[in-house]
Chain A
Amino acid sequence: MNSAFRYLMQGVFYAAFCGVVYYFSTSPRYQYLDADKSEIMVAFKHPTKRKEVCHERTAEELQKLPPNMRRPQDCPRERADLSIRFSLDGKEVANKSFVSPGIHRDGSVFVYAKFFIPAGEHRFKVEMRDSVQEGYDFTLEQPITFKPGQMLLVSFDENTDKFTLK
């Protein structure tokens, strides 16, 4: 193989190498969200209600306990599971449940969900249950016009006990 041809082939090799580098550094394109879709992302932390309410200990119950543990109230630590449901125009689009974390199941639940919906005008509804009671404890329902490519962030304000949309 003469030198000119060898140099030419080296050039071809480098070009092929750079071709691979360039192609996979940008291609193939990845379509995360279709042009006619929007995204809803839900993320917040929420301590659910305790499964059982505190009750006053009777004198008999207190007597059975060691002296250093005789607190007048008995408050079971375990918290309820959290359920959250999303509806669009009266039709359920997502439904998720979360268990309270921790050894005693008493930690705050980290709620996270994301889903895609068709862009356009919709009646958006989110419902959340954070207790052992039937039905939902918190609800937000309102019409929203979702632009294509819009990301709606759904959160829950602990101070006002209300859902917030951004």
Chain B
Amino acid sequence: MEILRSTCNRLFLLLEKQLNLIFGNKNNPLYHLGSLSFFFFWVILVSGIYIFIPFETSVANAYQSVEYMTHQQWWLAGIMRSLHRYASDAVVITIFLHLVREFARDRYRGVRWFSWFTGIPTLWLVVLLGVSGYWLVWDMLAQYVALGTAELVDWLPVIPSSMILNFLDGQVSDRFFTLMAFLHLLGIPVALVFMTWTHVSRISHVNIMPPRILAIGSFVALLLLSLLKPAISHEAADLTKAPMTLHIDWFYLNIYPFIDRFGPGWAWAFSGGVTLLFMLFPWLPPRKDPPPAVVVLPDCTGCGGCARDCPFGAASMQPRSDGRRNTPFQSVIDPSLCTACGICLGACTTSNPFRRTGETLTVGIDMPEYTLDHMRQETDRALQGLTGERSLLVFGCQRGADLEQLRASDTAVVRLPCAGMIHPSFLDYALRKGAKGVVVTGCREGDCYFRLGNRLIEERMDGTREPHMHKRVDRERILVVWAGSGDEALLKGKVAAFRQEKLG
């Protein structure tokens, strides 16, 4: 599993690097696969609402109404139909890549199991939604899908009636067809909205819209595809004829040729087995996360910084339990949500290293495995070993570029669980304690392992997010480089240039 994961990760890192050059980090499509999926759903929804207007929900007229849209009103309904189709296909790609990428980045185990676990049934709902949509065209492909679905359902011993008997009269009843339309138009979408909400319910700052430029680019691309290659139907369904050559949508209908070849029993076994295997991924093998953050109540001022910045909603503000006056709230950590990233520590107003030497630092919220006191000790140790006129202290995330290559007599490194753990006063501290310059580095921009780390520290430094960096700090002596695994040369180059240009 580890070999597979690291191979996938290397491939993604390589691909993302190229796309960063083309799109820039902020608009890299691979950094926005989840929000792109949401965007495609919006396209599906809007186009779906439009094509429902001329659509006839009856066996006799459904095909003709779709043909009318495709050929007579091709300039609007036809384009909408094609957009509906191609956005549905695009969403399968983005969801699949999203799934593989989260696996590659190892962001699906430990306390992050929930999003993965709920994502798998969400994907199935998307597939069901797509399959039920193909049914509504009521062409030969729809007939093939309908009979295949009936075969699949009838195989289940728990279903009392036999679905395929609906087709034996030579035609499907309007009632049955309306049931399928109901499932596609309302039943499955409602279930999908609920599952999607569940999927993202354990993270905060959910981003459901991709950057505008990416949304526009994707939409224009799908629109052009709809104009150049409009979606068309097969011939009308006819239950006295067997479908012969089919232009199958492999994104959604791949199970049907499988049924033809191996039978419905194996189709259930295969899809059920793969689903179960994927759902069990977070425990194959399980990962032991570091201990969660702990609230040190006597030091907690109830400022709410941790609850505001926590990317996983693990910190929340609740009425104070120690009766302290003037601070009605205290932070409370939900250990089942805490990834031990330390971002709350960086957001805490009491994470100040400027205190008496020798005094053990206490803070309102702390990380048992990497305490604030330990962080200051590490910083002090690193600063003590620094020599040279242009000495640098590097605060770097453990998940980003390999920092060992930077170590030298004039360059010290302090490794952190996440760059978002840095309280801005630490940068001030390092500069005042002797470092000529400070480097902050971590995962590539837009690709923080803990979702928001690099964005949060940048905003703190820019003064747009609390806790702010003190105005007296010389910003020119601080370099921020976002460099992921494999970007060591880039990091080294930027650090060398910074030393040359700013500290020379």
Report A's interface with B, CB cutoff 8 A: 1, 6, 9-10, 13-15, 17-18, 20-22, 24-35, 38-39, 41, 43-45, 101, 110, 112, 149-151, 153, 155, 166
Indicate which residue in B22, B242, B245 contacts A39 across the interface (CB closer than 8 Å): B242
- A150→B242 CA distance, assembly (Å): 6
Q: Known contacts being A21-B225, A24-B251, is A35 close to B244, with CB within 8 Å?
A: yes
Indicate which residue in A9, A25, A28 contacts B86 across the interface (CB closer than 8 Å): A25
A-B contact pairs, 11 of them (CB 8 A): A6-B22, A6-B23, A10-B23, A13-B22, A21-B89, A22-B225, A25-B89, A32-B260, A112-B151, A150-B242, A151-B242
Q: Which of A9, A24, A32, A110 counts the most chain B CB atoms within 10 A?
A: A32
CB of B98 closer than 8 Å to a CB of A: no
Q: Known contacts being A31-B245, A32-B144, is A112 close to B225, with CB within 8 Å?
A: no
A14 contacts B85, C-beta separation under 8 Å = no
A45 contacts B170, C-beta separation under 8 Å = no
- A13→B23 CA distance, assembly (Å): 10
CB of B46 closer than 8 Å to a CB of A: no
- A44→B161 CA distance, assembly (Å): 11
Indicate which residue in B21, B162, B250 contacts A45 across the interface (CB closer than 8 Å): B162
B154 contacts A110, C-beta separation under 8 Å = yes
- A149→B143 CA distance, assembly (Å): 14
Cβ contacts B3-41/A at 8 Å (1 or 0 each): 000000000000000010111000001000000000000
- A42→B242 CA distance, assembly (Å): 13
A38 contacts B245, C-beta separation under 8 Å = no
A29 contacts B89, C-beta separation under 8 Å = no
- A155→B170 CA distance, assembly (Å): 11
B154 contacts A31, C-beta separation under 8 Å = no
Q: Known contacts being A6-B22, A44-B168, A112-B151, is A24 close to B89, with CB within 8 Å?
A: yes
B222 contacts A110, C-beta separation under 8 Å = no
Contacts of A29 in B (CB 8 A): 245-248
B247 contacts A153, C-beta separation under 8 Å = no
Contacts of A17 in B (CB 8 A): 90, 93, 218, 221
Indicate which residue in B164, B229, B240, B243 contacts A43 across the interface (CB closer than 8 Å): B164
Nearest B residue to A166, CB-CB: B170
B225 contacts A150, C-beta separation under 8 Å = no
Nearest A residue to B23, CB-CB: A10
B249 contacts A24, C-beta separation under 8 Å = yes
Contacts of B21 in A (CB 8 A): 1, 6, 9
A153 contacts B19, C-beta separation under 8 Å = no
B221 contacts A26, C-beta separation under 8 Å = no
CB of B241 closer than 8 Å to a CB of A: yes
- A68→B89 CA distance, assembly (Å): 64
Q: Known contacts being A29-B247, A31-B245, A166-B170, is A43 close to B165, with CB within 8 Å?
A: yes
CB of B45 closer than 8 Å to a CB of A: no
- A25→B231 CA distance, assembly (Å): 9
- A14→B223 CA distance, assembly (Å): 11
A18 contacts B221, C-beta separation under 8 Å = yes
Contacts of B217 in A (CB 8 A): 10, 14
Q: How far is the CB of A106 from chain B (nearest CB, A)?
A: 14
A18 contacts B222, C-beta separation under 8 Å = yes
B246 contacts A15, C-beta separation under 8 Å = no
Q: How far is the CB of A57 from chain B (nearest CB, A)?
A: 33
Contacts of B85 in A (CB 8 A): 25
CB of B157 closer than 8 Å to a CB of A: yes
Indicate which residue in B29, B93, B241 contacts A20 across the interface (CB closer than 8 Å): B93
CB of B224 closer than 8 Å to a CB of A: yes
Nearest A residue to B232, CB-CB: A26
Q: How far is the CB of B302 from chain A (nearest CB, A)?
A: 47
CB of B172 closer than 8 Å to a CB of A: no
- A41→B240 CA distance, assembly (Å): 10
Nearest B residue to A40, CB-CB: B242
Contacts of B463 in A (CB 8 A): none
CB of B239 closer than 8 Å to a CB of A: yes
Nearest B residue to A23, CB-CB: B250
- A110→B154 CA distance, assembly (Å): 9
Contacts of B229 in A (CB 8 A): 22
B249 contacts A110, C-beta separation under 8 Å = no
- A155→B239 CA distance, assembly (Å): 14
